[in-house]
Amino acid sequence: MTASLPLQGFTVVTLAGNVPGPVAVDRLRRLGARVFKVEPPAGDPLLPISTPWYEELREGQEVVRLDLKDPDGRTRLDALLAEADLLVTSTRPGALRRLGLGWEELHARHPRLCQVAIFGYPGSERDRAGHDLTYQGSVGLLDPPALPRTLLADLACAEQATGAALALLLGRERGQGSGYAEVTLADAAEAMAAPLRHGLTAPGGVLGGGLPTYGLYAAREGWVALAALEPHFAERLRTELGVERVDAAALEGAFRERTAHEWEAWARERDLPLEAVRESS
């Protein structure tokens, strides 16, 4: 998508800091939207935590720092919203209302404006505090004491927020009027936990160690990730390895014979789903 981006001509204003909002808005910017990133006077909380990621996510956006508790800051924000198609927020609903940025007030002042509101929990717990770690913990996605390798709830929520934004804008363009959507991190985490909830990735499940051709194996150096799920992959693996059965014992013995990167090259030549496991950086 280079010649004609679908969101060219649309303007997004974002008040969302940290991770889910910036990731979602970056997606919208890549689809062609013009983005005004409104930050508090101290800046986005992500900046001191991970400056490179902050810079990556704000690329191509116009950053405006405003104190929304100050009348002048609110006036400048309203001027931006008057020309915008979409507002993205990631502040708890109670705090937004205290700032005069609840949906009802916004819609009255800016009837063409759509809003995607990102926050933690749905329903009666909508003002409850949380972060990625707590959302993952609440749906069984943690394996203590190890911390997760990625911000799964944050990133899943960002994708849901992107979809919600596109749906709102499409609906408005089709004559349904401007709209409001709530996207919660708790719901996003629960959606990501569906494979566990249905037993696929639970210990001993098909994708949780119960299938020998889907797992991690130690190589002579390093580890390999094997995902020969389909029968034709499993049979090709058996044939190419020269083993009678593709059970765990046979695979453990075979993979000890080469390094992980050697196995990866071997697998690519044979169109087998196997990768060397990279160390986290």
Q: What are the residue boundaries of the structural domains of the chain, listed by start? A: 11-195, 206-276
- Give which of 141, 146, 149 is closest to 197, Cα–Cα: 141
Tens digits of residue pLDDT in 95-145: 999 999 999 999 999 999 999 999 999 999 999 999 999 999 999 999 999
Q: Classify the phi-psi angles of 261: left when phi > 0, otherwise alpha if psi is within -120 to 50, otherwise beta.
A: alpha
Mean pLDDT across 31-43: 97
Q: Which fold has domain 206-276?
A: formyl-coa transferase, domain 3 (3.30.1540)
Q: Rounded to whole angstroms, how far apart are CA atoms 1 and 20?
A: 24
The burial class, CB within 10 Å (0-12 / 13-18 / 19+), for 41 is exposed
Domain at 11-195, CATH class: alpha beta
Which pLDDT score is estimated for 1?
A: 47
What integer is the mean pLDDT of 234-238? 97
* Exposure on the CB side of residue 56, measured as CA atoms within 13 A: 10
Q: Which of 55, 72, 71, 52 is nearest to 63 (CA)?
A: 55
Q: Exposure of 79 by Cβ count < 10 A (0-12 exposed, 13-18 middle, 19+ buried)?
A: exposed
Whole-angstrom distance, CA of residue 123 vs CA of residue 223: 44
Collapse the DSSP code of 275 into the 3-class scheme (helix H, G, I; strand E, B; otherwise coil) and give the result.
strand
How many helices and strands, by DSSP H and E, does the chain display? 13, 9
Is residue 278's pLDDT more than 70? yes
Distance between CA atoms of residues 25 and 250, nearest Å = 48
pLDDT in tens, 211-225: 999 999 999 999 999
